[in-house]
Structure 1
Amino acid sequence: MNAVIKGFRSFAAYMGSLMGADAYTKYLEHFTATGHAGPAMTEREFWRDRMDRQDSNPQGRCC
Structure 2
Amino acid sequence: MTLSDVRRVAGRIRWYVRELTGESAYGRYAEHTRSCDPQAPVMSRREFEHSRTDAREADPREGFRCC
TM-score w.r.t. structure 1 length?
A: 0.76
List structure 1 runs of 4+ shifted beyond 3 angstroms.
Answer: none
Q: Alignment length, in residue pairs?
A: 62
Deviation at 1:25, TM superposition (A): 0.3
Tell me the residue number matched to 2:42: 40
Structure 2 counterpart of 1:13:
15
Structure 2 runs not aligned, ≥5 long = none
Percent sequence identity over matched residues? 27
Show the counterpart of 1:59. 61
Computing the radius of gyration from Cα coordinates, the structure with the larger value is 2
Cα–Cα, structure 1 residues 58 and 36, in superposed 2: closer, same or farther, change >3 Å? farther
Structure 1 gap segments, 5+ residues each: none
- Scaled by the length of structure 2, the TM-score of the pair is 0.72
